[in-house]
Amino acid sequence: MGNKQPYTVLAVDDNLLNLKLIEKSLSKEGYKIFSADNGPDARAIALKEKPDLILLDIEMPGETGFDVIKKLKDSSETIAIPVIFLTGVSEVDSKLKGFDLGAVDYITKPFHPLEVLARVRIHLKLSIATNSLIADQASKLRQVTEAQVAMLPTPEDNPGALFGVYYKALEEAGGDFYDILNISEKITGYFVADFSGHDIKTSYGTASVKALLAQNCTPVYSPAESMKMINDVLVEILPDGKYLTACYMHINRTTKKMTIINAGHPPVVCLPKDGEPYLIKTKGDVLGIFKDAHFGTQSIDVSEGDKFFAYSDGLVESAQNKITWANGADSLLPVYKQIAQVPYDRAPAELVNHLFGNDALPEDDIVVLCVKV
């Protein structure tokens, strides 16, 4: 068995006697000690060594302990390190300021070595417990994410569907999803949806909708009938306030006909093989709320080589810039024209790169599906 790495403590104090006292009392108990007698050196050590805990003097010349902790908590690399203040100040306001800045405790100087040891031990225990809880929760959420992504079909598994896809969930339980329905050899259904909310329940809703699609998107039912049956079930099973917007594209490659069903979703973009991109706008109610919902339905003739884009509102909307898909979808048509020659399987990623490639981070989950006739 290898030797366990010792817990590390960074002691910061402009009084060298205090530093020696802390180092002696903690090192003999198995801790590894880093020392600094000023704020800039302390921050540099904290960034490099990532100590398990910091003992920080408040009253220091130049950069005070308050200045140091504020900068530590402003950095993503040092924000989680617990800080205990060493203070000779007895005023309540000073102690409260330390807590407000992120300190977990304080030790009044002059201090006893055994008190320092006891407080170091208790806060390391708390830190270990907290980190363990965070790791456990993160592991469970990663399992949810992996399970949700595993349900999403890939182009490699559906070569006859001729589609490319970009999928990005900003949180562990994404509200956006898509599905591919191989209805027959020449008939394919493409479903893109956006659940309200981004909690864990959403991922279970995704599984339910996927099962409903498999049961109802068959040659027996028209696309409109399929969506009606799915809606009727969702009205019964979804919790109050839960719903989803959706777009369903049904392509018959033999008859060269496409039927689009819109349920409160952004419009499909058509990029003809030899023509200008345009929106296919159809209004419809969302899925899962109204028993007598009306969905926008449109059938169009298509030609071999035409491409169609279905996407979630995260591609278009921006709360920061007050842009909704209703007033933002048209503005993206020039971008589709720029990627007209990009192969369908790479087009979704290229579209997202055009929109967000210059450090403009999306504000919501994104699904972009490109289908080639």
How far apart CA 278 and CA 329 sit, in angstroms, is: 10
- Is residue 30 domain-shared with residue 121, that is, in the same domain? yes
Q: Is pLDDT of 189 > 60?
A: yes
> Confidence class of residue 340 from pLDDT cuts 50, 70 and 90?
very high
- Is residue 170 domain-shared with residue 101, that is, in the same domain? no
Contact partners, residue 326, CB within 8 Å, separation at least 6:
none
Does residue 136 lie in a domain region? Answer: yes
- Is residue 13 domain-shared with residue 78, that is, in the same domain? yes
- The share of the chain scoring above pLDDT 90, in percent, equals 58
Question: What CATH number should be reported for the domain holding residue 13?
Answer: 3.40.50.2300
| Residue 102 backbone zone (phi > 0: left; psi -120 to 50: alpha; other: beta) | left
User: What pLDDT does residue 136 have?
Assistant: 66
User: What pLDDT does residue 274 have?
Assistant: 87
- Is residue 187 domain-shared with residue 98, that is, in the same domain? no
Does residue 2 lie in a domain region? Answer: no
> Confidence class of residue 4 from pLDDT cuts 50, 70 and 90?
low
- Is residue 111 domain-shared with residue 209, that is, in the same domain? no
Predicted confidence (pLDDT) per residue in 119-142, tens digit = 999 999 988 887 777 666 556 545
Number of domains the chain contains: 2
Last residue of one domain, picked from the residues 115, 142, 169: 142
For range 186-198, the mean pLDDT: 87
Last residue of one domain, picked from the residues 142, 161, 181: 142
Last residue of one domain, picked from the residues 113, 142, 171: 142
Q: Is pLDDT of 168 > 60?
A: yes
User: What pLDDT does residue 363 have?
Assistant: 59
More confident residue, 237 or 324: 237
- Write out the residue range of the structural domain in which residue 284 sits: 151-372
How far apart CA 294 and CA 186 sit, in angstroms, is: 28
Q: Is pLDDT of 41 > 60?
A: yes
Q: Is pLDDT of 148 > 70?
A: no
Averaged pLDDT of the chain: 86
- Is residue 85 domain-shared with residue 218, that is, in the same domain? no
- Is residue 214 domain-shared with residue 361, that is, in the same domain? yes
User: What pLDDT does residue 1 have?
Assistant: 44
Q: Which helix (H) or strand (E) holds 222?
A: none
- Is residue 323 domain-shared with residue 349, that is, in the same domain? yes
Tokens of 350: 């290229």
Question: What CATH number should be reported for the domain holding residue 180?
Answer: 3.60.40.10
- Is residue 241 domain-shared with residue 361, that is, in the same domain? yes
